[in-house]
Every structure is written in structure tokens, then in C-alpha cells.
Amino acid sequence: MYLYNIHTHKTGREEINGYKVQYMLNTSPGDFEEKVATSGGACFSCGIHPCSAEEAAGQIDLLRKTGKNKQVFAIGEAGLDKLKGPDMDIQTKVFGQQIELAIEIGKPLIIHCVKAWDELIALYKEYKPDIPWIIHGYRGNVEQTKQLARLGFKFSVGEFFNGEAIRYIPLDSIFCETDMADISICKVYSRISSVLNLEFNQFVRIVADNVHLALK
């Protein structure tokens, strides 16, 4: 049985407590080839982070090529960040290009969103995507979670989360990650399953089913 870590910036042990670990390593178009060569059995997401949107001009065509690689299972992390990065108009343009690419090639989006929820929701309504939009590192409150879940967003939860809010994430819309933290993915699963009052193995199966459906 696999523990799926769908958003991480580093790989680690291939087996934890008897479970195999499948990492989805975050990459950019510029470092994809290097990470493929050095990351063993990982699979990958590839995208242009909103904080790098100003330098994206030469990266979009490369991302279009890289995104079609069979080892790339998602586009991202991509999105909007009001605390860091260039002007929102620049971020929105680059994010829109990645949305369109993900839709074109039929792969999920791994989304980075900081203080730009209204803008993210507006784009979701505009594109009406039939691909999963997975918000990574999700820590939102109850009302935000209810709103996003009603619209159809999916949620990747890591080391830190709002314990009350994640009870409102539909079980078919939840994923696990470590992002840049040193915590093991096994511990992330354990903490979340405890909050949801699910047996560990039951939660592992739920997330595995979600991964198989989203990343097929």
C-alpha cells in the first residue's frame, strides 16, 4: 500500500512503517531535467510559481513541452500570491497560461494561493475546468472550506492545517503533502486521520483512490 505525497520539494525514504511512499516532486521548467535525473522513482509536477511570474516569458514554451512528459502528472505549483512576487496582472496572465495548458493536456493543477481567494474563485468560474484544481498547503477556515468545496476545488493538506475546517473537506477531495517541511508523510496522514476520526489504513485507501482518479 502506498502513501502518496502529492506536493514536495524533496524526496526521502521509499518505505515508512511498512508503507511504500510515492513522491510527486515539484519542479520548474528549468530544473525538470536535472530533477528527473537525480530523483529515482519520483513522479513530478511542473509549473511556474507565481513569485517567478515576471521571468516566465521564456519558460511557458518549455513548460508546454515538459508538461506533456509522461513523468509529469500535474501542472504546478501555479497560482497567485499577494504577499510576494510581481504585480497581480502579471501573475494572473502567467497563471492563466498554465490553466489553459493543464486543460489542453488534461492534467491537474497544483495551486499556490496566498490572499487571492476571490481572484482564484473568479478564474475557476471563468474556466469551468473539468480537470482537478488542487490547492496545496491548505489551511483555510471553515467558511472558506465550505465555499471552495461547493465549487469543486480539491485540497492538499500538510503539516499545518485548521483541524475544524478539514472536517468539511469531502473525503473524495483530500490529498496529503509535506511541501518543504521535514515532517514525514506518514505523520501527516496520521494527524489528519486522527482529526477525521478515521482509521489510518482507511484514510490511506481514501487518499490513494483520490490520487488514482485525479492523476489518471
What pTM does this model have? 0.97
Per-residue pLDDT tens for 99-157? 999 999 999 999 999 999 999 999 999 999 999 999 999 999 999 999 999 999 999 99
pLDDT at 58: 84
Question: Is 26:9 a contact under the CB 8 Å cutoff?
Answer: yes
Per-residue pLDDT, 46: 98
How confident is the model at residue 137, as a pLDDT? Answer: 98
Yes or no: domain 2-214 corresponds to CATH 3.20.20.140? yes
From residue 202, alpha-carbon distances to 24, 148, 179, 208 in Å are 22, 25, 23, 10
**What is the model's pLDDT at position 216?**
75
Which segments in the chain show pLDDT lower than 70? none
